[in-house]
Chains A and B, each alone.
Chain A
Amino acid sequence: MTALKDLFSSLLDFIQRLGAMGSFLMRILRVLPGSLRRFDMHLRQLWFIGAMSLTIIIISGLFVGLVLGLQFYSALNQFGASGALGTLTALSLYRELSPVVAALLFSGRAGTAITAEIGLMRSTQQIEAMEMMAVDPIRHVVAPRFLAATIALPLLCVVFSALAIMGAHWSAVLWLGLDNGTYWSSMVGSVDLVDDLLAGVFKALVFGVLVALIAAYQGYHAKPTGEGVAYATTRTVIHSAIAILAFDFVLTAFMM
């Protein structure tokens, strides 16, 4: 009986948190146009959230591409279909791997940074100080980070794809001896700009909103202690990962 009660109350907690996040998103969106007047704030966040994440995205993209080239080559070669390697690599990257892997890496690199930063501002009472001075912390702290993450993730996703295509070219064409022309032309033949490439970029945009919202929410509502900030940072990674994978399923089901 108590187990049932616990389950019910945790379900209620979950729904309550969902509602709180929704209203948090509304608050961000309401102040977003006004905060654009301080454009240098946004630029600084785009540098910190986007450009500083490039290193991990580039390295991971390259290695994912190298592995895809090796794996697909050995699998396809069994059927004598190694000519389809380019198509398979590009489609799996654009439609699934790039948006999802880039978003997961992004939540680990930038999401945690957002949570820790806002959480620390909360625990050192900087947020309260801002409110005392009638400066809206949502507008000056949260909104620039939210917008920067939303812009940065689609760009990072595309960079990831480009590097992975290069990586697969390296392993499949330069090492394993797949024909260079076959590799590129099999992509051009069956990859669509809108249905495959831009659909993946749209996914990344949605994931960017999710990660930014979860990270900012967790930081803003962190318990103002060292432990509370640590907890919030952990939750950012876990919640982002679950949200990304769940939304990926929903988006894929809709866009197929």
Chain B
Amino acid sequence: MAANRSFEIGTGLFIVLGFAALLFLATQTTNMAGFRAADTYELKARFTNIGQLKERAPVKLAGVTIGTVRSISLDGTALDAVVHVDVDSQFSELPEDSSLSILTSGLLGDQFLAIRPGGSPEFLVDGDEFLLTESSLQLEELIGKFMVGGDGGGERGN
């Protein structure tokens, strides 16, 4: 009986250790603790270039994540990218004239959306569109501009 009991304790410890390891990995090394709002509302925005923005990228306000990118598609007639984002419902008081820009975390990090709040007394509601958007910064374009010179616009060669 005593031997049986030590078996059971040992086996129980093994199972507990396994689940403890799973819990450790899940909470410390995955995005589980990240953005998971139960209740969200959807907003959309149009960009001329989304750069490397991907689905599930964070949407931040003042650096705090308040939502995620749900889907990215191309509008075939207007020829610009339409980005749908889910925003946590507890942040439902975003001014109507807020702007949305695509920023990069660090020099080569992942891209995310940043909301810059406006001053309007009206708020964005479900299905609304951000009217002011700022596309992602293209490193190549920036270098191109830099190489041909600032104010001359490529005329400097003459």
A, B bound: yes
Interface residues of A (CB under 8 A from B): 40, 43-44, 46-47, 50-51, 54, 81, 86, 90, 94, 152, 154-156, 158-159, 161-162, 165, 184, 187-193, 196-197, 201
Known A44-B7, A47-B7, A50-B11; contact A188-B21, beta-carbon cutoff 8 A: no
Is B26 engaged at the interface, CB distance under 8 Å to the other chain? yes
Q: Are A54 and B31 in contact (CB under 8 A)?
A: no
B10 at the interface (CB under 8 A from A): yes
* Assembly CA distance A158 to B108 (angstroms): 31
Asked if A192 contacts B31 (CB within 8 A), the reply is yes
Residues of B within 8 Å of A188, CB to CB, are 28-31, 33-34
Q: Does B15 contact A (CB under 8 A)?
A: yes
Tell me if B30 and A51 are in contact (CB < 8 A). no
Q: Mark B114-137, 1 if CB is under 8 A from A, else 0.
A: 000000000000000000000000
**A47–B7 CA distance with the chains assembled, in angstroms:** 7
A-B contact pairs, 19 of them (CB 8 A): A47-B14, A51-B10, A51-B13, A54-B17, A86-B29, A90-B29, A155-B15, A155-B17, A158-B22, A162-B24, A165-B25, A184-B28, A187-B29, A189-B31, A189-B110, A190-B110, A193-B30, A197-B22, A197-B30
Q: How far is the CB of B76 from chain A (nearest CB, A)?
A: 28
Main secondary structure of the interface of B (DSSP, over half): helix
Q: Which residues on A sit within 8 Å (CB–CB) of B7?
A: 43-44, 47
| Cα of A162 to Cα of B22 in the assembled complex, Å | 8
**Please, how many angstroms separate the alpha-carbon atoms of A81 and B15 in the complex?**
38
Within 8 A of A (CB), among B7-53: 7-8, 10-11, 13-15, 17-19, 21-22, 24-26, 28-34
Given known contacts A47-B10, A189-B110, A158 and B18 CB-to-CB distance under 8 angstroms: yes
Interface residues of B, count at CB 8 A: 25
Q: Which residues of B contact A189 (CB under 8 A)?
A: 31, 110
Q: Are A159 and B30 in contact (CB under 8 A)?
A: no
A59 to chain B, nearest CB (A): 15
Q: Does B4 contact A (CB under 8 A)?
A: yes
A193 touches B32 (CB 8 A): yes
Q: How far is the CA of A188 from the CA of B30 in the complex (A)?
A: 4
How far apart sit A197 and B21, CA to CA, in the bound complex (Å)? 12
Listed from nearest, the 9 A-B pairs whose CB atoms lie closest are A155-B18, A51-B14, A162-B21, A187-B29, A193-B30, A193-B32, A47-B11, A158-B21, A191-B30
A155 to B14, CA, bound (A): 8
Shortest distance between the CB of A103 and any CB in chain B (Å): 15
